[in-house]
């Protein structure tokens, strides 16, 4: 097995093409996969971020190789994920229309069974500069299991009755629905540096809480700044993250070490200010 780039109890990172690590991991060993693959939308054009014009190039890893090759890539990594997922495990895939239909079809080709497609509505999404079409303000999250009969984890009560006050659409005490209103990452989540497609901690918290239990193993094959890893670690799960880019793994390490230090020192106020209002140390709420 390839040597890890960084390893602490419950938190491991690999610098590699995810396909190389996925083929080395044991079969049926992972409880949940969260994957935020390249959307392949980088080009030479511009978009508006915080009122400024910025180039639409996230990195070479996000450049499109054409529809057919992009699709083949999604089929391949989604197939590799199926091998490592436990029989009752689940996979989440995030994307916009640039990639999510391809990923959805790739899930079907690999015989997964869909549980939900979640619309992640971003109330604070950047405005559209061209004013020639609607302002993109959501992403889609696909959630699937290995087969129709698989007994997947869904923490229904916690979704229904938990404190989800960051979401203006979630009504207290009513079922959690498939449209989630969650802001883009807070500035404090980027204090060690920016990943161009960083996910919100609140989004990953919800995914981890909904579909895993304490002690479960969560894998993120495109870990970036490891938002998934932070949510996994904070709530007592185990984590493996993979990324090709050293700079993102170094960012992941800084984020992890700060969280770990504050958890060990039982710094409730740090966790409250940086992550959430209702964290109880060692809780599995």
Ligand X SMILES: C[S@@+](CC[C@H](N)C(=O)[O-])C[C@H]1O[C@@H](n2cnc3c(N)ncnc32)[C@H](O)[C@@H]1O
Q: Which one of the spans 41-49, 114-122, 144-152, 237-245 is the region binding ligand X (CB under 6 A)?
A: 237-245
Q: How far is CA 45 from CA 42, 52, 73, 130, 154, in A?
A: 8, 14, 24, 12, 41
- Quick count: other Cβ atoms within 10 Å of Cβ 283? 10
Nearest CB to ligand X, comparing residues 47 and 88: 47
Binding to ligand X by residue 32, rule CB under 6 A?
no
Nearest CB to ligand X, comparing residues 104 and 221: 221
Number of residues that bind ligand X (CB under 6 A): 19
Rule CB under 6 A: choose which of 2, 7, 17, 193 binds ligand X. 17
Binding to ligand X by residue 61, rule CB under 6 A?
yes
Nearest CB to ligand X, comparing residues 67 and 268: 67
- Quick count: other Cβ atoms within 10 Å of Cβ 20? 13
Please report the sign of the dihedral spanned by the C-alpha atoms of residue 176, residue 105, residue 203, residue 43: negative
Q: What's the CA gap between 96 and 90, in Å, rounded?
A: 20
Nearest CB to ligand X, comparing residues 145 and 195: 195
CB of 54 to ligand X, least distance (A): 16
Q: Check: CB of residue 235 under 8 Å from CB of residue 217.
A: no
Binding to ligand X by residue 245, rule CB under 6 A?
yes
Rule CB under 6 A: choose which of 199, 205, 206, 237 binds ligand X. 199
Please report the sign of the dihedral spanned by the C-alpha atoms of residue 95, residue 97, residue 98, residue 100: positive
Q: What's the CA gap between 285 and 280, in Å, rounded?
A: 8
Rule CB under 6 A: choose which of 5, 13, 18, 104 binds ligand X. 18
CB of 219 to ligand X, least distance (A): 12
Q: What's the CA gap between 209 and 155, in Å, rounded?
A: 7
CB of 201 to ligand X, least distance (A): 9
Q: Which one of the spans 25-33, 127-135, 136-144, 222-230 is the region binding ligand X (CB under 6 A)?
A: 222-230
Q: What's the CA gap between 49 and 129, in Å, rounded?
A: 10
Binding to ligand X by residue 227, rule CB under 6 A?
yes
Q: What's the CA gap between 90 and 151, in Å, rounded?
A: 10
Binding to ligand X by residue 225, rule CB under 6 A?
yes
Binding to ligand X by residue 275, rule CB under 6 A?
no
CB of 192 to ligand X, least distance (A): 12
CB of 34 to ligand X, least distance (A): 8
133-158 in b/e form (b: 16+ CB < 10 A) is eeeebbbbbbbbbbeeebebeebeeb
Q: Which one of the spans 116-124, 192-200, 209-217, 258-266 is the region binding ligand X (CB under 6 A)?
A: 192-200
Give percent helix, percent strand, percent coil of the chain, each to the nearest 5: 30, 25, 45
Q: Check: CB of residue 221 under 8 Å from CB of residue 33.
A: yes
Nearest CB to ligand X, comparing residues 180 and 222: 222
CB of 240 to ligand X, least distance (A): 12
Binding residues (CB under 6 A) for ligand X: these are: 17-18, 36, 38, 61, 195, 197-199, 221-222, 224-225, 227, 242-245, 248
């Amino acid at each position: 097995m390839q040597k890890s780039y960084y390893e602490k109890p419950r938190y491991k990172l690999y610098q590699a093409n995810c396909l190389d690590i996925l083929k080395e991991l044991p079969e049926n060993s992972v409880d949940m996969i969260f994957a935020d693959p390249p959307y392949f939308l980088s080009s030479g054009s511009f978009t508006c971020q915080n009122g400024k014009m910025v180039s639409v190039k996230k990195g070479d890893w996000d450049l499109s190789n054409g529809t057919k090759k992009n699709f083949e890539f999604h089929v391949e990594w989604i197939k590799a994920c199926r091998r490592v997922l436990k029989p009752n495990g689940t996979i989440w895939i995030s994307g916009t229309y640039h990639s999510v239909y391809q990923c959805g079809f790739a899930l079907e080709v690999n015989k997964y069974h869909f549980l939900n497609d979640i619309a992640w509505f971003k109330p604070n999404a950047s405005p559209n500069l061209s004013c020639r079409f609607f302002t993109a303000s959501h992403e889609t999250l696909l959630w699937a299991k290995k087969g129709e009969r698989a007994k997947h984890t869904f923490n229904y009560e916690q979704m229904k009755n938990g404190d989800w006050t960051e979401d203006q659409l979630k009504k207290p005490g009513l079922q959690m629905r498939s449209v989630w209103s969650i802001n883009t990452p807070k500035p404090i989540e980027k204090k060690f540096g920016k990943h161009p497609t960083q996910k919100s901690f609140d989004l990953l918290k919800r995914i981890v809480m909904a579909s895993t239990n304490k002690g479960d193993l969560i894998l993120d094959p495109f870990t970036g700044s490891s938002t998934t890893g932070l949510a996994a670690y904070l709530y007592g799960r185990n984590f493996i993250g993979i990324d090709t880019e050293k700079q993102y793994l170094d960012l992941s390490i800084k984020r992890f070490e700060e969280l770990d230090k504050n958890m060990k020192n039982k710094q409730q106020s740090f966790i409250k200010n940086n992550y959430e209002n209702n964290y109880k140390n060692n809780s599995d709420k």
